[in-house]
Amino acid sequence: MDIVIDTSALLAVIVGEPERDRIVELTAGHALVGPGSIVWEVGNAFSAMLKQRRLALAEAQRGLRIFHAIPLRFAKVDLSKAITIAHQTKIYAYDAYFLDCAVRRAAPLLTLDRGLARAALKIGVKLLEI
């Protein structure tokens, strides 16, 4: 089964947040899918953590190596549909890209972002509970 995983869930695994083990358990044996924008979002998240001094450069580089080792399939986004989803749910396009992936693949979404989870439910996307 395909699972659309968002940046918040990926980062939880990479940096070892408390939800890590549950996310690994839920995704084991399944194909992880997400929009290509995940790469930029992960990079932005690590740069923010560096700026806030939450981690050192060596830790960020290690996190990026972990990210690149995660078997993640990048899906093409339908920008028109994503913008429509963003408008319907009042979310940013970057978040709507994940919902577009989930809708087009009839796949559940794995996220720690409450706003994205609410938007997913609003348009009928199934969530994986953490």
Q: Taking CA 96 as the corner, what is the angle to CA 93 and CA 97, rounded to the nearest 5 degrees?
A: 90
Which of these, 97, 85, 92, 91, lies nearest to 124 by C-alpha position? 85
- Between the alpha carbon of residue 95 and those of residues 28, 32, 57, 70, 87, the distances in Å are 24, 16, 27, 20, 11
pTM value? 0.94
Q: What is the pLDDT of residues 103-124, one digit of tens each?
A: 999 999 999 999 999 999 999 9
Q: What is the pLDDT of residues 47-61, one digit of tens each?
A: 999 999 999 999 999
Residue 84 belongs to a domain: yes
Domains contained in the chain, number: 1
Where helices occur in 1-130 by DSSP H, the ranges are 7-14, 20-27, 38-51, 57-69, 79-89, 93-105, 114-122
How is residue 10 written in tokens? 């990926």
Domain around 112: 2-122
Residue 130 belongs to a domain: no
Residue 129 belongs to a domain: no
